[in-house]
Amino acid sequence: MEWIDAFLTDCTLCLRFNNKVGPLQTQPTGTPQGSPLSPIISALYTAPLLLLSKHWQDVVLSLYVDDGLIFASGPSWTHVQRTLQDYYATTYHWLSQAGLSLKSSKTELIFFRRSHDKSASPTRLFLPDHSIHSYVSITPSPIVRYLGFYIQHKLDWKHHVQVMANWTRASLRAIKVLGNSIRGLNMANWRLLYHTIVLPTLTYSSQLWWASPKKKTLIAILRTAQNVGLCLITGAFHTSPVEPLGVLAHVLPIHVHLEKLASNSALRLLRLLPWALPLQLLGPPWHDPSPNDFRPPVPIQCTCRSVNQSALNCLAAQLNLALPRFDPHLITPWEVFPWASRVSIMSSTSAGNQRHWTSDLLATYNEGCAAITLMAAHVSTD
């Protein structure tokens, strides 16, 4: 706590424009923007609210820094409305007591329903706003943005993919000022820009829709944007065949790259801690239920004839459960590992040789799945 207090006190900042730097100013509130510690400190500060939400009924609360999500489910729209209003008020009160606030102007609402449900969803939701001592009316939207994901009320990801493709084309048009086929950046630098700026935008959150039944249509949208980038890298005409350009630029086809991202995301499940939330959502055999687990966001419908698998389930289906699990915290920072019982040091061959490398020590520590190779050299001096 003392370390965090020292990190958050006596903060200063200055403004810089071109080559001019303004004077230092004190910043008594807030956390440093861009610091990797800011999300961790924010999670620690709001952890009591998350623990409180574990006892809520038919509601799941999710927080990420300054973005929050309240997901409610129920047998009727009236039940969902009442649940959202009650627990929104509870969240509003807790944040106010903690010195934080909610902005009703940035609050969005979206309703989901099953395809066979013909009942009309509510047209508005009234939420309390203690800053004006009244209620605000929130109109549901067919598409909301959360953490950069454009979520549609029918879970159709076409709009999200189109937005990512449009952003990619905008980025490609912007970086054209850096050169052309005659002068400017060479092909290697164009390819570097493509992999650092264009490709992450193009494939952002592809794991969400990777298992969608409309995957071919979504990939076709991304492939069109990728073709523009290949023409920019190679300096070819827009009418040039795409496959040779990908080979020439050493760029994977977009569908192969998406498969690679999905496989890498699936392999990360093997490195999660046993109590991680993704493993809790997967359930057995990935995770053994315990009383301290968070409840799933949607109650399990045992009477439903066919339940569509989530994106997380589709990723987990790629893995063989017989694969070994990796513990990312095999040696915690506050533990002292007993190296003496596992490593033997060879004695130097001659004590009379000055600055002479006598031997290299190769010691391998193998603990099931983890292997660490240590190399040491001995110097013999007078």
| Polymer length of the chain | 382
DSSP designation for 56: -
Indicate whether 197 pLDDT > 80.
Answer: yes
328 or 261: whose pLDDT is higher? Answer: 261
The sign of the dihedral angle between the CA atoms of 167, 171, 172, 173 is positive
State the pTM of this model: 0.77
Q: Where are the alpha helices (DSSP H) in 59-195?
A: 77-97, 158-175, 187-193
Average pLDDT in the 254-258 region? 93
Cβ atoms of 111 and 121 within 8 Å: the answer is yes
> Do 327 and 103 meet the contact criterion of CB atoms below 8 Å apart?
no
Q: State the pLDDT at residue 204.
A: 94
Count the neighbouring beta carbons within 10 Å of the beta carbon of residue 269: 19
- Side-chain half-sphere exposure of 36, counting CA atoms within 13 A: 0
In a 10 Å sphere around its CB, with 0-12 CB exposed, 13-18 middle and 19+ buried, how is residue 334 labelled?
A: exposed
Is the pLDDT confidence value at 161 over 90?
yes
What would the pLDDT profile of 150-159 be if each residue is shown by its tens digit? Answer: 999 988 999 9
DSSP state string for 164-175: HHHHHHHHHHHH
Q: Which of 7-21, 226-240, 261-275, 303-317 has the lowest mean pLDDT?
A: 303-317
Mean pLDDT of the chain: 81
| For range 24-36, the mean pLDDT | 77
Identify the DSSP state of 271: G
pLDDT tens for each residue of 74-118:
888 999 999 999 999 999 999 989 888 888 888 999 999 887 888
Share of the chain above pLDDT 90, in %: 28
Mean pLDDT of 276-304: 74
By C-alpha distance, which of 289, 244, 272 is closest to 328? 272
Strand partners, 237: none
- What average pLDDT score do residues 195-203 get? 92
pLDDT digits 0-9 by tens, 345-376: 555 554 444 444 444 433 333 333 333 333 33
pLDDT of residue 140: 92
Structure-block tokens of residue 342: 């596992």
Check if the beta carbon of residue 91 is closer than 8 Å to that of residue 70. Answer: yes
